[in-house]
Amino acid sequence: MSSHRAEVRTIAGSLLTAAFSAVMVLSFTASADDQGPGSSKGGKAMDAAPAGVKLTTLLPEKISVDNSSKKTAITATVRNEGTKESGEINLLVVGFDGLKVNSVQGCSAIGAKDLPPGSNSGFKCAVGTLAAGKSKSYAVDATYDLSKAGKICLPVMSADGKKTFWQQGPVPFGTTNPSPNAPATPLLLGTDNKPVAPGGDTLPKTGVGDDLLPLGAAGAALIAMGAAGVYWSQRRPGHRPLDS
């Protein structure tokens, strides 16, 4: 009889381990890859583009900030929705307030003295010429201080810097429901961030045993699984900034 019980416990333990592994893999994949569809929210056409050229940008509808490292990943995309090639253009990726751009793949940092007013970081990407209907995406490595609001701006400029054909932002990423105790905090494009209050690294306790809630919730999930089976500053005189 004891042998039978030991065998049952072994099988149950194996199933629990497999279920837990599956949850971890699925969670990591979702947080790493799922940024939702691209959005041009907060974007506006500026100087007139050449005939037949229509330039826009896209940002993910949601990103995720690691609560320990403050790191986040953002995909910035520029596209030509027109019927003719764009000519030589540059894409700028600029951070404001709590959102700081650390690097953009294949792009060069903008010097501090050349940054747009109010920004804390920026990179210039030499896009080259975009054919009609084509787009180009850049991987943006950033940090986000969740105790502040944070914004990003994507201007699309002529190669000589004299014209800004399109500018998305400064548009905010944020959340109205901070999650200081979670591994990561999801942020939505176009949402003003509600900063975590001072001392908000732990949630208020409302009763005995609250500390057991994360483990209990994880256990419930496993059981359920088993049951189921800028404004850019260097513009020609006379330009007006786009309000944030």
pLDDT tens, residue by residue, 33-92: 466 689 999 999 999 999 999 999 999 999 999 999 999 999 999 999 999 999 999 999
pLDDT at 34: 61
Does a structural domain hold residue 75?
yes
Does a structural domain hold residue 95?
yes
Q: Domain tally for the chain?
A: 1
State both tokens at 27: 């969670």
Average pLDDT of the residues in 197-225:
40
Q: What is the 3-state secondary structure (H, E, C) of 82-113?
A: CCCCCCEEEEEEEEEECEEEEEECCCEECCHH
Average pLDDT of the residues in 171-192:
94
Does a structural domain hold residue 79?
yes
Q: What is the pTM of this model?
A: 0.70
Does a structural domain hold residue 217?
no
- CA–CA separation, 54 and 163 (whole Å): 14
Average pLDDT of the residues in 111-137:
97
For the chain, what's the residue count? 244
pLDDT at 199: 54
Answer whether residue 206 shows pLDDT above 60.
no
Pairing of strands 71-80, 55-60: antiparallel
Does a structural domain hold residue 140?
yes
pLDDT at 243: 47
Q: What is the CATH number of the domain that holds 153?
A: 2.60.40.290
Residues 6+ apart with CB under 8 A from 146: 65, 67, 70, 98, 178, 180, 185, 193, 195, 196
- CA–CA separation, 119 and 103 (whole Å): 15
Does a structural domain hold residue 6?
no
pLDDT at 179: 84
Percentage of the chain lying above the pLDDT 90 cut: 62
87 is in which domain, residue-wise? 34-189
- CA–CA separation, 189 and 182 (whole Å): 20
Does a structural domain hold residue 101?
yes
Q: Of residues 36 and 127, which shows the higher confidence score?
A: 127
- CA–CA separation, 90 and 164 (whole Å): 9
Distance of CA 107 to the CA centre of its chain: 18
CA dihedral 56, 58, 99, 164 (to 10 degrees): -10
